[in-house]
Amino acid sequence: MARNTFRTDEEVQNVFKLGHLKRLDKYLKPYAGKFSVTLGFTVLSSALGLLAPYLTMIVMDQSIPNRDIGQVIRLSAFMLFTVLINIYFMRYRMDAMAKVGQGIIRDLRLDLFTHLQRLPFAFFDSRPHGKILVRVVNYINSLSDMLSNGLMNLITDLLSLGIIIAIMLTIDVRLSLVALAGMPLLFAAVFIIRILNRKAWQIFSAKQSNMNAYIHESIAGVKITQSFSREAKNKEIFADVAGDVQKSWNHGTRVMFLMWPSIENISSFVITFLYIVAVAMIAEATLTVGVLVAFVAYIWRFWMPINNMANFYNTLITNMAYLELIFETIDEPVLVKDRIGATQMPKIRGKVTFQDVAFGYEDGQRVLDGVSFTCAPGDTIALVGPTGAGKTTVVNLISRFYELNAGKVLVDDVDISGVQLASLRSQMGIMLQDSFLFSGTIMDNIRYSRLDATDDEVIAAAKSVCAHDFIMETEEGYMTEVNERGSRLSVGQRQLISFARALLADPRILILDEATSNIDTRTEKALQEGLSRLLKNRTSFVIAHRLSTIKDATKIMVVDNGTIAEEGDHDALMALKGDYYNLVMSQWQG
Amino acid sequence: MSAVRWGLPYMLRYKWRLIFGQMINFINILLSLVNPLMAGLIVANVIEGGQRELLMRYLAIMISITLYRSITRYIFLVLYETTSQKIIFNLRQDIYHKLHIQNFRWFDKNRVGDTMSRMTGDVEALRHFTAFTIYAIPENILIYVAAVVVMALINVPLTLALLITTPIVVYSAIKQAKELHPAFREVREQFSNLNSVCSENIGGNRVVKAFTKEAYETDKFTVANQKFYDANMNTARVRIKYFPIMESCAALLPLILLLVGGLMVIYGRLELWQMVTVSGYLWMLNNPTRMLIWSVADIQNAATSLDKVYEMMRQEIEIASPEEALPGEKVRGDIEFKNVSFRYSFEPNSEVLKDISFTAKQGQTVGIVGATGSGKTTLMALISRFYDANSGEVLVDGKNVKEYHLPSLRKGIAYAMQDVFLYSDTVEGNIAFAAPDAPMEVIYDAAEIADAHEFVSAMPEGYETIVGERGVGLSGGQKQRISLARAIAAEPSVLILDDVTSAVDMETEHRIQEALAEKVLKSGTARTTFIVAHRLSSVKDADFILVLENGTITERGNHDELLAKNGYYAKLFEEQRGGMPHGA
């Protein structure tokens, strides 16, 4: 999937796929009972609501000329009854629709989120995180109304339209025909404006999301902007982006505001015509005043359902685009998952074997080709080599974050493709290049890897990575809140915390991917001394560029061009005078 | 209220447009009283009075009034929307500007998400206010009053009967607004909570997988999801309580008209045409009350948002160019620290830097080493005046940084930060960040020096490749090299490299340093360079090296001098070169 920036509008396709609606069935089904009862009530209550002009007509045409006070009171009592019963209907409906709408999106959202947890790194790497976020939060929210009130209104509007026409026809066929003559015009106007309107708002929402993306980036990168004095240029770009929002909004409102005048003018022409015909008919005594008043009232009620239906049509189309993106995410294949009959990984002793492993992130690409090695439990393996050589890939395969193209990865002679992922990964401690911290206390962040760890265990882990001292120096010690990405801490300090987090998990295999690159060598040394005791019985893989970090490894592997070019301990490789030797020497020459 | 005093000028700037709009609208509302009257007159004069010749006149009036009203209303609405867009545009620009002059210290304390919502959610609330609420309130008051007056002119007792429900509507509406306010806040809060749980999960997806915490994350999400559901259901409950009552009051009006009006006509206290006319005014009683109640909530909302925006806008800018400072030439690159002390918090004895003094001459290379948290990054941030020293002076070209026009000062200093941030833009756009109009050769050249050209060219789309916000998709070393190229492309007089080669292998780093030196040599200009690093190989060729321990400089000198001192640096060197064959 191509990447998206603030400069490019997000594409929203207007596709109508019945399949998507069918899939929603699963979420609607639990509410089928509630939905049908509500539908019944709603139809009944809107039918009752439509009676008012009819009753007024009877009063004007019959009760008043006949001075029938009893009839006026009876009809009023009946109206009062309909009003009261409507309160109950309305309550039931509002309650039911809130439950249906909110319930559906809660269930759908949970499904989507749960699925996201199973998706591979590649999914998250290939698109802006903001785009994934809006799928889970915003897009699903916008479905809520369509699936509850929208659907309900559509059905009732269709019925009320029918009922109105039926009532009008019962009262007077000739006037009905006059009134209905304006219908096609009204329909056409409403739908054309609605469609134009939708397009205009689509443009607006694309422009708005561009602007939001730019604001977000501007805030996140403001330190860079200030340090390069680029404020003026940024403001220029922002003026452009915000100007686009302004323009598209103005365009949108210009179209949207056409709606009312059109309806009003068409209605007023129809009503005028109606008056002309009606007055003539009343003169011939074939029509009464009450009928005329009732008709005018009904014509006004006409446009509401039509407008609502046009509205629903628009929401439907927009939401189909959202649904498309939501289901696309739910359908995203889970590439790495437990095989059928996958077994529990026994407690790992720590032997790791690669047998002719070949791997590429994309088809036809070979990041690793024919990688084979074995290491014994308790070994420390250092991976060195130029950036992009495939070091990170090697360690990612040990945790089975990706499926191999060829070959096998064995842990304790067990092929890891046949074991349950959770049982494998829970025995590994992985420290990544990007030391991501969650917002929360330092204590919570370290505890993340083992939620049942006691405070003492957390502190012990922090001590073993030399993080305890600086943590105690912060305002509230372990209870200090760190911001998103730990922005209050220096990069080195963040790395120490995520190191403690990895250790706390008591992993059998520890993977350190440039985990200490921003920590000074002195602290690193103290750290390693503290660790050596802890690491005694664990196998560890270390990716680093610092000689001091790697030279004591049991085995150093030079990864270059997707293969292991050299293998051995520091002394052996120095004696070899190959790549490793050159790498080491380059640090000191020049 | 000072927030209002601050916000008002944004609107007053367009006062004539706003006043003109209100005038159009007032005329419109008065005209809307005519049509129901026409309908009544048709019944009275044409149908009952038999004056058929009047019909066409009445109808013509009705049509022309509708036409006039719809056209002017359209103009009015568009006028108000465009005006509100102008107001909001200016406001947004000002907030954006403020953010760009705001200091690091402020950004250290405020979360991106919160600042973001000032510029989106709160500005949207103000937009709604300026586009809608400011005309809806006078409009609805006028409609209501006009309807009551006209109806009273027609018949006072009937009017009074119709006003019976108004207190109930007002009462319920006020109660509802009161209860909805906290309910809406709760929804907003739960929404932003859901957002941050989700956003953290996506951002930290690697950590989640690495520790197999998928189930834990799903639990955390389920709680947030359910809370959001509950908050929504809570607002629904409030609405269910009051909405049907208000709706029923509206539905009661035709009933009252039917009963009271019907009886009055029968008893001869009312003409039929009067009853028809009044029925045409019914909506003018109901809608305004409902709208006014909503407006109360709108005002509350807008006031809250205005407060929040103002709170941000009134924050003092501690670090700004002095008024008399004028944009000047690029700095030459003489840097001097005189007894500089600095602390982030106001607590005493929490100094991050203590009594720092050193001089770096134009063209010199200065290495900075020291433990994690010893103050290296802070020291560098003071040169560009991202923070102000608590005591002592930082001098650039012999002039205190506080006397500089800030952009001029910073323009000459390229600061490549430890925490690499790339924009979601092309590689080229990222490298050209400091010099957007730089020719491609400068970009290629910078990339070449930073040893990025090769891997960038190897990517399918080369320099046109789009990288993500945090440079996701690139390895740590690749990100660092692009950010390094960005600093080089700025062609600064002072280059600060804050641990930017930590994820780059030694060989590459060595190449980069040679290329940098060669570039400076070729251009003939002297460039002052600061290198913060943990690998001593990065700094050993520097003209002098500062060793920072707990915020003070404990050792200084060049590589050989420091080795001779046999102190921290020498020990560090020994540790790092341990295992190296001697004499290398």
- Cα Rg, chain B, nearest whole Å: 36
Cβ pair A433:B55 closer than 8 A:
no
Question: In 3D, which of A562, A525, A546, A556 has the Cα closest to residue A397?
Answer: A562
Chain B residues whose beta carbon lies within 8 Å of the beta carbon of residue A98: 232-233, 236, 240
Chain B residue numbers with beta carbons less than 8 Å from the beta carbon of A254 are 78
A384–B505: do the CB atoms touch at under 8 Å? Answer: yes
Chain A residues closer than 8 Å to B510 by CB:
586-587, 589-590
Q: Give the residues across from A371 on adjacent strands.
A: A357
User: Do B194 and B127 sit in the same domain of this protein?
Assistant: no
- Minimum distance, in Å, between the CA of residue B379 and any CA atom of chain A: 13
Residues B148 and B169 in one domain: no
Q: What residues 146-165 of chain A have any CB closer than 8 A to a CB of chain B?
A: none
B272, B499, B506 member nearest A586 (Cβ)? B506
Q: By three-state DSSP, how is residue B355 classified?
A: strand
Contact flag B214-A117 (C-beta cutoff 8 Å): yes
The domain tally of chain B equals: 3
B342 Cα to chain A: minimum distance (Å):
16
* Range list for CATH 3.40.50.300 in chain A: 350-427+544-590
Q: In Å, how far is B357's CA from the nearest CA of chain A? A: 23
Whole-number mean pLDDT of chain A?
83
Residues B197 and B106 in one domain: no
Tell me the shortest Cα–Cα distance from A431 to chain B, in angstroms: 8
The answer to whether A246 contacts B89, with C-beta atoms less than 8 Å apart, is yes
CA A551/CA A569 separation, integer angstroms:
8
Give the amino acid at A459.
I
Contact B240 A588 (CB under 8 A): no
* CA gap B193, B202 in Å, rounded: 14
Average of per-residue pLDDT across B15-33: 92
* A527 alpha carbon, distance to own chain's centre: 40
Question: Would residue B280 count as lying in a domain?
Answer: no
**Is the Cα torsion angle B145, B148, B150, B156 positive or negative in sign?**
negative
Amino acid identity for residue A8 in this structure = T
Q: How far apart are CA A251 and CA A226, in angstroms?
A: 35
Q: Could you give the angle at which helices B476-489 and B506-523 cross, rounded to 10 degrees?
A: 10
User: Is any Cβ of chain B less than 8 angstroms from the Cβ of A276?
Assistant: yes
Find out whether A240 and A7 touch, Cβ atoms under 8 Å. no
For position A130, what pLDDT does the model report? 66
Q: Do B209 and B297 lie in a common domain? A: no
Q: Are residues B142 and B175 in the same domain?
A: no
Number of H helices, E strands in chain B: 25, 12
Same domain, B92 and B143: yes
CATH code of the domain in which B31 resides: 1.20.1560.10
Question: Residues of B with CB below 8 A from A274's CB?
Answer: none
Q: Is the Cβ pair B417, A121 closer than 8 Å? A: no
Find, among A345, A348, A342, A367, the residue nearest to A357 by Cα.
Answer: A367
Average pLDDT (A298-325) is 77
Residues in B touching A4 (Cβ below 8 Å): 424
CATH 1.20.1560.10 residue spans of chain A: 18-331
Q: Tell whether A340 lies on the interface with B, counting CB pairs under 8 A.
A: no
Distance from CA of A480 to the nearest CA of B (A): 13
Q: Do B580 and A547 touch (CB under 8 A)?
A: yes
Are B516 and B373 found together in one domain? yes
Residues B217 and B344 grouped into a single domain: no
Q: Which of A8, A31, A64, A244 to mutate to test the interface with B (most CBs of B within 10 A)?
A: A64
Q: What is the mean pLDDT of chain B?
A: 86
Shortest CA distance to B340 belongs to which of B295, B392, B299?
B392
On the question of pLDDT at B584 being above 70, the answer is no
Cβ-based contacts of B504 with chain A (< 8 Å): 387, 545
B421-449 pLDDT, tens digit per residue, is 887 788 998 899 888 888 889 899 999 99
Return the exposure string of A495-534: e unless at least 16 CB atoms fall within 10 Å of the residue's CB, then b.
Answer: bbbbbbbbbbbbbbbbbbbbbbbbbbbbbbbebbeebeee
Share of chain A above pLDDT 90, in %: 16
Residue B276 lies in a domain: no
Band of residue B470 on the pLDDT scale cut at 50, 70, 90: low
What residues of B are in contact with residue A268 (Cβ under 8 Å)?
Answer: 62-63, 66-67
Establish how many alpha carbons lie within 13 A of residue B125's alpha carbon, considering only the half-sphere containing its beta carbon: 20
For an interface test with A, give the residue of B62, B89, B100 to mutate (most A CBs within 10 A).
Answer: B100
B474, B348: one domain: yes
Residues 6+ apart with CB under 8 A from A161: A302, A305, A306
A170 contact partners, CB below 8 Å, separation of at least 6: none
| B513 neighbourhood in chain A, CB within 8 Å | 590
- Cβ distance A87 to B243 less than 8 Å, yes or no, reads no
- Cβ neighbors of A396 (< 8 A, separation 6 or more) are A121, A402
Q: Are residues B123 and B180 in the same domain?
A: no
Q: Any CB–CB contact under 8 A between A561 and chain B?
A: no
Comparing A40 with B576, which gets the higher pLDDT? A40
Report the residue from A7, A225, A548 with minimal CB separation from B576: A548
pLDDT category, A413, cuts 50, 70, 90? Answer: very high
Say how far apart CA A313 and CA A187 lie, in whole Å.
13
For every residue of B386-451, DSSP letters joined together read SS--SEEEEEETTEEGGGS-HHHHHHTEEEE-SS----SEEHHHHHTTS-TT--HHHHHHHHHHTT
Burial class of residue A84, CB neighbours in 10 A (0-12, 13-18, 19+): exposed
For B85, the domain range is 1-155+290-316
Tokens 């509206």 sit at which residue? B250
Residues of B in contact with A505 (CB under 8 A): 211
Answer whether residue B211 is part of any domain: yes
Across the range B527-554, mean pLDDT stands at: 89
Query: Is the pLDDT at A271 greater than 90, yes or no?
Result: no
Q: Which residue of B has its CA nearest to A136?
A: B198
Residue B538 lies in a domain: yes
Q: Which residues contact A582 (CB under 8 A, 6 or more apart)?
A: B507
For the structural domain made of A350-427+544-590, what CATH number should be given?
3.40.50.300
User: Model confidence over B65-89: pLDDT tens digits?
Assistant: 999 999 999 999 999 999 999 999 9
pLDDT of the residue at B212:
78
Among chain B residues, the shortest Cα distance to A106 is held by B225
Give the other-Cβ count within 10 Å of A81's Cβ: 11
Residues 241-260 (A) with a CB less than 8 A from some CB of B: 242-243, 246, 249-250, 253-254, 257-258, 260
Q: Is the per-residue pLDDT at A547 higher than 80?
A: no
CB spacing of A433 vs B196 below 8 angstroms? no
Residue type present at position A479: M
Is A328 a residue whose pLDDT tops 90? no
Minimum mean pLDDT range among A239-243, B221-225, B447-451, B519-523: B519-523
Q: Is the pLDDT of residue A589 over 80?
A: no
Partner-chain contact B112 A216, CB within 8 Å: yes
Minimal Cβ distance to A125: which of B50, B116, B473: B473
CB atoms B251 and A283 under 8 Å: no
Tell me which residue of A299, A262, A252 sits closest to A278, measured CA to CA.
Answer: A299
Q: Residues B475, B483: contact at Cβ < 8 Å?
A: no
B293-342 pLDDT per residue, tens:
778 778 877 888 898 889 888 888 888 888 888 888 888 889 999 999 99
CA distances (Å), B386 to each of A4, B377, B401, B488, B489, in order? Answer: 32, 11, 10, 20, 21
Can you tell me whether residue A568 is helix, strand or coil? strand
- pLDDT of A1 above 70: no
Gyration radius (Cα) of chain A, Å:
35
How are beta strands B494-498 and B528-532 bridged, if at all? parallel
Strand partners for B391: B341
Percent of chain B with pLDDT over 70: 96
Strands A380-384 and B391-396, bridge-based pairing: unpaired
- CA torsion sign, A387 to A389 to A395 to A396? positive
Res B574: pLDDT: 83
B93 and B192, same domain (yes or no): no
Q: How many percent of chain A have pLDDT more than 70?
A: 93
ipTM, two decimals, is 0.82
A69-118 vs B166-203: helix crossing angle, rounded to 10: 10
Of A451, A438, A490, the C-alpha closest to A467 is A490
d(CA B208, CA B193): 19
Per-residue pLDDT band at A193 (split at 50, 70, 90): confident
Cβ atoms of A242 and B126 within 8 Å: the answer is no
| B207/A436 Cβ within 8 A | yes
User: Of the candidates B262, B411, B578, which has its C-beta nearest A548's C-beta?
Assistant: B578
Q: Which of A5, A102, A114 comes nearest B466 by C-beta?
A: A5
- The beta-strand segments (E) located in A253-350 are none
**Which residue is listed with tokens 């409403």?**
A190
> Hey, what are A562's tokens?
């997707």
Any B CB within 8 A of A231 CB:
yes
- For residue A544, the SS3 value is coil
Q: Tell me the count of A-B CB pairs closer than 8 A.
A: 457
The token pair at A40 is 């019944």
Residue A536 DSSP symbol: T
CB contact under 8 A, A386 and B411: no
Please give the model's pTM, rounded to 2 decimal places. Answer: 0.80
Identify all chain B residues contacting A7, using CB atoms and an 8 Å cutoff. Answer: 425
Largest CA distance in chain A: 121
CATH number, residue B400: 3.40.50.300
pLDDT, residue B348, reads 62
Return the axis-axis angle of helices B283-313 and B134-154, rounded to nearest 10°: 160
Instruction: Tell whether B311 and B344 lie within a shared domain.
Output: no
Q: What's the rounded Cα separation, in Å, for the pair B238 and B304? A: 21
Residue from the list B236, B503, B577 with its beta carbon closest to the beta carbon of A517: B503
CATH T-level assignment (fold) for domain A18-331: ABC transporter transmembrane region fold (1.20.1560)
